[in-house]
Amino acid sequence: MKALVATGPNEFSVQEVTEPEPGYREVLARVRAVTICGTDAHLLRGDYPGFWPPGYPFIPGHEWAGEIVALGPGAEDLGWSEGDRIAGTSHDACGVCQKCVEGRYNLCENYGKEGLHRQYGHNYQGAFAEYVVHGVKAIFHLPEEIDFPTGATLDPASIGLHTANRGGVRPGDNVVVFGPGPVGLLAADAALTRGAARVIVIGKPSIDCDRLELARSMGFEAIDYEGIDPVEAVRESTGGLGADVILDCAGVPETFQWSIAALRKGGRCAAVGIPVEGVALDLQELVLYEKELVGVRATAGEMRHVIPLVANGRIRVKKLISHRFPLEEFGEALDTFNERRGCAMKVIIEP
Ligand SMILES: [Zn+2]
Ligand SMILES: [Zn+2]
């Protein structure tokens, strides 16, 4: 089969490789659509040495949809058949540690341990290929209404929903989203599904210009923070009170500081962007005004909740699909994504 193979930092090409075989409770799927995620761009650059990927050669890719072409032993007993249309997600956790038992498999205590845990496209071969093997814990039935490119964006949509869930958005809340990228806009839609009264998306016009425009076209309030104080802007638009919930989807050090300052008393910030450096936080503000700051890692059971919301159009992933490329043009697709050519949001590869 053809696959995108990384052979070192910034070294990758589409090559002919051996097709994988499904093992116990696994399926082999024909990949029909797979999207480029920010994590893929970092991984291909070699930004997580020795971790993602643990070694070379490596096939990345973890946001995909396709159909089952072969079943490993035990998969049929669990309700899977050849020809099933499915979407994948990355975490295939152990299922037996206490975090998995509690349903928080994104925090699996056996992360990365051979034979117990896999994160496809991160520490195990992924889906930038014609075929991929997945354990049945990491696949989901795709309803008729969802086509393959849309199905490939269910994984990031489930992360958007997990972010809004971790933020504890309640009906009538004023919600602020930092970072108008794909996860930011998906989290914004997810906040609406939880009953947010208003969602204000904040970005930097020099890099997010088209994205803020897209946010406006989706009906969100959008604020360009360049040249202004984003904390003041949030306070001004919330009658001086601040936001009930902030979803930090930018992950730069400043947005953590702004988030704590721009929260209403008793407010909560859920951060999904991974900051690359440390930052000083105003902990007095956190303690004295009972503000909360919580982390968000991937998704924990939201795939099944997000599928009907995407199918009925309440989480609008189709709005975010900006480009489609064949696997052979992966380099071009990655440049389009990295340089945000033509307001690139979700760039889809169709192997
Ligand atoms: Zn991703
Ligand atoms: Zn586990």
Q: How far is the CA of 163 from the centre of ligand 2 (A)?
A: 21
Are 79 and 60 part of one and the same domain? yes
Are 7 and 44 part of one and the same domain? yes
* CB 183 within 8 Å of CB 319: no
Are 183 and 267 part of one and the same domain? yes
Are 34 and 72 part of one and the same domain? yes
> Which residue, 237, 288, 239, is CA-closest to 260?
288
Taking the C-alpha atoms of 97, 103, 106 and 112 in order, what is their torsion angle to the nearest 10 degrees? 20
Q: Express each pLDDT in 298-326 by its tens digit.
A: 999 999 999 999 999 999 999 999 999 99
Q: How far is the CA of 59 from the centre of ligand 1 (A)?
A: 14
- What's the domain range around 222? 159-295
Are 326 and 281 part of one and the same domain? no
Asked whether residue 264 is domain-assigned, the answer is yes
Q: Could you tell me the pLDDT band of residue 275, with boundaries at 50, 70 and 90?
A: confident
What CATH number did the domain enclosing 291 receive?
3.40.50.720
Asked whether residue 269 is domain-assigned, the answer is yes
The residue among 264 and 275 whose pLDDT is bigger is 264
Q: How far is the CA of 349 from the centre of ligand 2 (A)?
A: 31
3-state secondary structure of 248: strand
Q: Exposed/middle/buried for 221, CB within 10 Å: 0-12, 13-18, 19+?
A: middle
3-state secondary structure of 156: helix
As for how many domains the chain has, the answer is 2
Asked whether residue 304 is domain-assigned, the answer is no
How many other C-beta atoms are found inside a 10 Å radius of the C-beta of residue 253? 15
Least confident of 50-64, 95-109, 195-209, 318-332: 195-209
Q: How far is the CA of 347 from the centre of ligand 1 (A)?
A: 12
Are 198 and 283 part of one and the same domain? yes
Q: How far is the CA of 138 from the centre of ligand 2 (A)?
A: 13
Residues 85, 34: Cα–Cα separation, whole Å: 14
Residue 221 carries which DSSP code?
A: E
> Which residue, 63, 146, 156, is CA-closest to 313?
146
Amino acid at 50: G
3-state secondary structure of 346: strand
Are 208 and 181 part of one and the same domain? yes
Looking at the CA of 64, name the nearest ligand: 1
Q: Express each pLDDT in 196-231 by its tens digit.
A: 999 999 998 777 668 999 999 999 999 999 889 999
Q: How far is the CA of 96 from the centre of ligand 2 (A)?
A: 5
Q: How far is the CA of 119 from the centre of ligand 2 (A)?
A: 12
What CATH number did the domain enclosing 341 receive?
3.90.180.10
Asked whether residue 58 is domain-assigned, the answer is yes
Asked whether residue 118 is domain-assigned, the answer is yes
Q: How far is the CA of 185 from the centre of ligand 2 (A)?
A: 30
pLDDT attached to residue 40: 96
Residue indicated by tokens 């306070």: 235
Q: How far is the CA of 190 from the centre of ligand 2 (A)?
A: 27
Mean model confidence pLDDT for the chain: 96
